[in-house]
Amino acid sequence: MNPSAWLLWLIPLASAPVVPALGRLDKRACKWFAVAVGGATALIGLEMGLTFSGPAQTQTLAWVPSLGVALEVQVDGVSTLLGAFVALLSFAIVVYAAGNMERERGQARFYSLVLLFVGAMLGLVMAGNLVQLYVFWEIVGICSAFLIAFWNDKESARKAGIKAFFVTRVGDAALLLAVILILTSIGTTSLSGIAAATKVPGTANWTLIGFLVLVGAMGKSAQVPLHVWLPDAMEGPTPVSALIHAATMVNAGVYLLVRLYPVLATSQALLWSVLGVGLLSMVVGAVCACAADDLKRVLAYSTISQLGLMFAAIGLGNWQGAVFHLVSQGVFKALAFMAAGSVIEAAGTRRMDEMGGLRTMKVTYVAFLAAALAMIGLPPFIGFWTKDAILSAALTTNQAAFAAIAVGSVLTAYYSFRAVFKVFQGPKREGVGEPPALMAGPMVAMSATAAFGWLLLDYQKLLPFGFSLDPPALAASMFALVSGVMVSYYAFVMKREETKAALASHKAAGLLKKALLQGLGFDEAYGRLSRLVTVSLSEAALLIQTGDLDTNAMLLLAALLTLLLLVAVGGL
């Protein structure tokens, strides 16, 4: 029995209900308690990551025997690596939140939801079977929705929370069907049992199951066309965006596909679907990120795009590459959000057009720059190694995908530095201070991780970490990086004013920008669909609700006649 694999998620879960009680005694106690729990969890995660040396093991406790469902933890390379990653990152973000959220109301609600989230997220990573994984999958979704709506006085925040809950639940419905199909087909949902069953032909309809799993993963990982909730989720507090909507929960879909890779591998069509969804999301996310003006939305679209890259890696059969990029993206995106939170607090706006010249905030500037450099994959930043692994795999297996990823890289370099230049370049802005130590500390630590974290990726050999430094792949990636940054530099530093003027006067550019700002019309289409269901179909369903006894009687008679007709036609 490895107690760490249980304590890792049970401690934060059990701590969550304690926070409101503490909050009644002393409001400040909430944040220190959360920091302490986060610290303890991080230590456990670290211990688990440093001591695990394989082989994979499963530990089981009885839970719902009549359904064949147990409480199960799976301790192996993937769960240990990601468990340690989530625990450490959560700790850094909770400390950051202690500084960033200091003046907000509702501290008890905030920290109890955050701890509940951390526990459920770690439970999801450690879960040894799909039913248990699904339970935590739902709980992280609930926490996410209520944290997005944290500033409940804002209508946009409330709407965004509900939208996130609803859209991800569409994906969850598919996942639930998949989980139960597996349960009824092979009598178990344990990860090892599924992997074994996929090797025996005819045990289940794996193609259907794989398709449903993909839809579930698309919802949680905000892949096109179920991505619409993530940009709106930026209405939540910045620590929430960093923790949930950049570094951890949105990775759950990727994690699910990694865990169920044996299912996907049963059919080439499934792998192609995963690749297709991934590439599409990568491009759509990157293109929208190029136009967005809200700093947090840029980062949100970037997350969609990066998650698309991970999906593509899985579709190409390189699931290990997806896991490493997941960790790497988690680090640099969380860092980018932390820096963004600091910038937004100083500038008092999220609009990049109203920023500029903020390089006086040195710590924040360095942090954002480190995040951007890791994001675009400059060596030796962490993103370089993990992206290289995916690019070189693509080069050998699928040239078209390679080309698409290269295009995505150009866009990434462009939008990342567009943000850097728009926020920090321009006439220096004086009088803006550095963030408090509680925010700066985690930013410094994360910056160091973004620069040197790759040294740790292979430290414990939890997973075979492969990168090839293939010359063509390397050349493509460097070319993408340089060209993207150059264009950005030209447009937003050298010709800053001209670009602004050109974008304002050029009609086609304006239309394109408008389309991109509106997310390419997905939201509008869903809005129409939603009105169709909640208004038109609802009215249709209420047509027979006349409150009139005659109608009721007629319908009863009609039911009776239909029934007799059925008997007559049935002709038993």
Token pair, residue 521, equals 């019309």
Neighbours of 523 (CB within 10 A): 15
Contact range with other proteins by CB under 8 A, out of 24-32, 373-381, 447-455, 531-539: 531-539
Min. distance of Cβ 15 from other proteins in angstroms? 16
Contact range with other proteins by CB under 8 A, out of 31-39, 358-366, 468-476, 564-572: 564-572
Residue of the chain from 177, 478, 486, 512 that contacts other proteins (CB under 8 A)? 177
283 contributes a contact to other proteins by CB under 8 A:
no
Token pair, residue 382, equals 């962490």
Neighbours of 51 (CB within 10 A): 11
Residues 6+ apart with CB under 8 A from 461: none
Contact range with other proteins by CB under 8 A, out of 279-287, 389-397, 420-428, 545-553: 545-553
Please name the residue ranges forming H helices in 199-267.
206-220, 229-232, 238-242, 252-259, 261-264
Specify which residues 190 forms β-bridges with.
129
Nearer to other proteins, 176 or 390 (CB): 176
Min. distance of Cβ 537 from other proteins in angstroms? 5
Report 363-392 residues binding other proteins (CB under 8 A): none
> What crossing angle do the helices spanning 319-347 and 362-376 adopt, rounded to 10°?
150
**Total interface residues for other proteins by CB under 8 A:** 61
Min. distance of Cβ 219 from other proteins in angstroms? 11
Q: What is the 3-state secondary structure (H, E, C) of 514-561?
A: HHHHCHHHHHHHHHHHHHHHHHHHHHHHCCCCCCCHHHHHHHHHHHHH
CB 221 within 8 A of CB 253: yes
Residue of the chain from 32, 166, 452, 490 that contacts other proteins (CB under 8 A)? 166
Kindly state the greatest CA–CA separation across the chain. 89
Nearer to other proteins, 113 or 404 (CB): 113
Specify which residues 294 forms β-bridges with.
351
Residue of the chain from 1, 103, 153, 507 that contacts other proteins (CB under 8 A)? 153
Min. distance of Cβ 391 from other proteins in angstroms? 38
396 contributes a contact to other proteins by CB under 8 A:
no
487 contributes a contact to other proteins by CB under 8 A:
no
Token pair, residue 11, equals 């401690």
Dist. CA 456–CA 453, nearest whole Å: 5
Nearer to other proteins, 53 or 184 (CB): 184
Contact range with other proteins by CB under 8 A, out of 156-164, 298-306, 344-352, 394-402: 156-164
Min. distance of Cβ 453 from other proteins in angstroms? 34
195 contributes a contact to other proteins by CB under 8 A:
no
Min. distance of Cβ 508 from other proteins in angstroms? 38
Residue of the chain from 202, 464, 471, 547 that contacts other proteins (CB under 8 A)? 547
Min. distance of Cβ 244 from other proteins in angstroms? 17
Min. distance of Cβ 170 from other proteins in angstroms? 6
445 contributes a contact to other proteins by CB under 8 A:
no
515 contributes a contact to other proteins by CB under 8 A:
no
Contact range with other proteins by CB under 8 A, out of 40-48, 91-99, 174-182, 273-281: 174-182
CB 272 within 8 A of CB 315: yes
545 contributes a contact to other proteins by CB under 8 A:
yes
Q: How far is CA 251 from CA 371, 428, 484, 533, 551, in A?
A: 18, 37, 26, 31, 52
Nearer to other proteins, 131 or 446 (CB): 131
Give the single-character DSSP code of 435.
P
Min. distance of Cβ 534 from other proteins in angstroms? 5
Residue with tokens 């940009």: 231
CB 36 within 8 A of CB 74: no
β-pair type (69-75, 57-64): antiparallel
Residue of the chain from 131, 215, 443, 450 that contacts other proteins (CB under 8 A)? 131
Dist. CA 177–CA 215, nearest whole Å: 11
Report 8-67 residues binding other proteins (CB under 8 A): 62-67
Dist. CA 120–CA 137, nearest whole Å: 8
Backbone torsion region of residue 398, taken as left when φ is above 0, otherwise alpha when ψ lies between -120 and 50, otherwise beta? beta
Residues that bind other proteins (CB under 8 A): 62-67, 131, 135, 138-139, 142, 146, 149, 152-153, 158-159, 162, 165-166, 169-170, 173-174, 176-177, 180-181, 183-184, 530, 533-535, 537-542, 544-547, 549, 551-553, 555-556, 558-560, 563-564, 566-568, 570-572
